[in-house]
Amino acid sequence: MKRVILLMLTNLAVVVVLGIVWNILDSMFGISQMFMQMGLPAHFGYTGLMALVIGFGGAFISLWMSKGMAKRSMGVQIIESPQTAQERWLFDIVKRQAHEVGIKMPEVGIFHSPQPNAFATGARKDSALVAVSQGLLDHMNADEVEAVLGHEIAHVANGDMVTQTLLQGVLNTFVIFFSRVIGYFIDSLLSRGENRGGFGVGYYISSMVLQVLLGFLATMIVMWFSRWREFHADQGGARLAGKAKMIAALKRLQQAHATEDLPGEMAAFGIAGGVAGGFKKLMMTHPPLEERIAALEAGRN
């Protein structure tokens, strides 16, 4: 659950900052007044434009910041010039796989964690980062590491980071827009239409509560997409490294009973996530490993 909270807070923080900037610009240039003069009821046109700008702006700023944030938060050491046989092997595998899927060579890095994990991120297919933990290199054999790298390269080649950003942008827009529109109607009912010149306390309280509730539902949709995407990345890893290697890598991860969750947005792009059941499963970034193994063995996406 910690990874989901961090993911929501990161996106929320960007949206809040953009909201403040928008309000400053509105006070300077009178954007809302222009929409009022156009006769749009309850600022709906203004609210729609604000939701669109802030919703997609927040998502794409988060994407643009993702690689730099990953390097800092995870302490990733980029392999610019391989110094050891292990670094050379890791570098060459990523280079070969990137060539096979038709993308430019990503940056390759190692982060110091005793738990086996890996992730990929970046704003574009041709400007990505693929990083593995030292724990993964220590606990997996070469075939299994190759499969994990194939899984991460598949994420990049499939454009998963951009696709998730677009989905997040759409959901942000709907959350911002509908929380304020519904808040307006609640405020109108509570004030009996007396707040025609502005918004009452009911609007601000209800819109904030609705943004949290609708944001929670939006996160559930993003998490569902993240789980669905993992099956396709597993298939991509199987094509690049071999089905048997990919299955073996997932089974090795099963043996790591306490696989460490990656922080924040990195969780959605890791090779594995924590195990949960029931309602908590709806907030998981990854499907249970047994489901992923079964899908590969059955040849399903």
* pLDDT confidence of residue 133: 93
Backbone φ and ψ of 131, nearest 5° = -130, 145
- What tokens appear for 301 in the block? 């996406």
Q: Which of 124, 147, 125 is nearest to 136 (CA)?
A: 147
What's the chain's length in residues?
301
CA distance linking residue 219 with residue 211, whole number of Å: 12
Q: What is the pLDDT of residues 280-300, one digit of tens each?
A: 777 788 899 999 999 999 975
According to DSSP H, which parts of the chain are helical? 2-29, 31-37, 44-74, 85-101, 134-139, 142-157, 160-191, 201-241, 243-255, 289-298
C-alpha 266/C-alpha 47 separation (Å) is 31
pLDDT value of residue 5: 47
Quote the pLDDT of residue 43: 57
pLDDT (0 to 100) of residue 173: 86
| Region of poorest pLDDT, from 25-39, 63-77, 186-200, 216-230 | 25-39
On whether residue 278 sits in a domain, the answer given is: yes
| Inside any domain, residue 150 | no
Percent of the chain, pLDDT > 70? 75
Helix (H, G, I), strand (E, B) or coil at 288: coil
98: in domain: no
pTM (2 decimals)?
0.76
10 band by pLDDT with thresholds 50, 70 and 90: low
Cα 240-231-270 angle, rounded to 5 deg: 80
* Tokens of residue 111, six digits: 């982060």
Distance of CA 151 to the CA centre of its chain: 16
**In the 8-state DSSP scheme, what is residue 197?**
T
Has residue 276 got a pLDDT over 90? no
- Average pLDDT, stretch 70-85? 89
Which residues constitute the domain of residue 253?
1-73+159-301
Strands, sheet with 77-78, edge to edge from the N-terminal-most edge strand: 77-78, 107-111, 127-133, 118-124
In a domain, 79, yes or no: no
Q: Which of 81-95, 158-172, 247-261 is predicted with the least confidence, judged by mean pLDDT?
A: 247-261
pLDDT surpasses 60 at 22: yes
Sign of the alpha-carbon dihedral angle for 82, 88, 90, 92: positive
pLDDT at 3: 39
Residue 15 maps to a domain? yes
Mean pLDDT of the chain: 81
Confidence of residue 270 (pLDDT cuts 50, 70, 90): low
Cite the active site residues. 152
Angle between helices 160-191 and 142-157 (to 10 degrees): 50
Min mean pLDDT across 98-112, 135-149, 200-214, 283-297 is at 200-214
Region of poorest pLDDT, from 58-72, 105-119, 207-221: 58-72
Comparing CA positions, the residue from 79, 135, 86, 70 lying closest to residue 108 is 79
pLDDT of residue 233: 94
- Tokens 């109607």 correspond to 185
Strand 127-133 and strand 107-111: pairing? parallel
Helix, strand, or coil here: 276? coil
CB-based contact 150:185 (threshold 8 Å): no
Residue-wise burial string across 72-100, b where 16 or more C-beta atoms lie within 10 A, e elsewhere: eebebeebeeeeeeebeebbebbeebbee
- Whether residue 2 is predicted with pLDDT greater than 50 in this model: the reply is no
3-class SS at 115?
coil
pLDDT at 209 over 80: yes
The whole-number average pLDDT for the span 28-37 is 63
- How far from the centroid of its chain's Cα atoms is residue 49's Cα? 24
Q: Report the C-alpha gap between 175 and 12 in whole angstroms.
A: 11
Q: What is the DSSP letter of 39?
A: T
Question: In this structure, is residue 273 part of a structural domain?
Answer: yes
pLDDT confidence of 193, banded at 50, 70, 90?
low
Q: Where are the alpha helices (DSSP H) in 102-159?
A: 134-139, 142-157
Q: Looking at the domain assignment, is residue 235 inside a domain?
A: yes
For the chain, what is the domain count? 1
Q: Phi first, then psi: give them for residue 77, nearest 5 degrees.
A: -100, 115
pLDDT greater than 70 at residue 15: no
When pLDDT is averaged across residues 128-153 and rounded to a whole number, the result is: 94
pLDDT of residue 42: 44
With respect to residue 212, please indicate whether it lies within any of the assigned structural domains. Answer: yes
Residue-level pLDDT at 1:
36
Query: pLDDT category, 275, cuts 50, 70, 90?
Result: very low
β-pair partners for 108: 130
How many Å apart are CA 63 and CA 120, to the nearest integer? 12
